[in-house]
Amino acid sequence: MRKLIIRWIRAYQQGTSGKNPTCKYQPTCSNYAIDAYENYNFFSATILTIWRLLRCNPFSRGGFDPIPKFKKDLNNPLRINKSREEKKK
């Protein structure tokens, strides 16, 4: 599924390359999505991509905004600390 989404994004990029306006973020929103799907599981990558698209609006400053490097935190969306769970037992 991730490979299919990446292909769709690349097709979108080819269809829109050179057209204005360009993305105010670096990397672009589409490149951000590709990075997310290449480095995270499907669920986490989808959440990251949606969150990025919501931030990309006329009122945002833009700028450098790479995908987060804390992969283990994103693969545990509830941020449950295993040591806390073990202490409760």
The full set of domain ranges for the chain reads: 2-7+22-88
Residue 15 has pLDDT above 80, yes or no: yes
- Residue 71: which H helix or E strand, with range? helix 71-74
Task: Summarize pLDDT for 52-64 with one digit per residue, the tens.
Answer: 999 998 898 989 9
* pLDDT at 22 (0 to 100): 76
Check if the beta carbon of residue 32 is closer than 8 Å to that of residue 67.
Answer: yes
pLDDT classification of 86: cutoffs 50, 70, 90: very low
Residue 8 vs residues 12, 33, 67: alpha-carbon distances, Å:
6, 11, 19
Residue 19 has pLDDT above 50, yes or no: yes
Task: Summarize pLDDT for 25-61 with one digit per residue, the tens.
Answer: 999 999 999 999 999 999 999 999 999 999 998 898 9
Check if the beta carbon of residue 2 is closer than 8 Å to that of residue 37.
Answer: yes
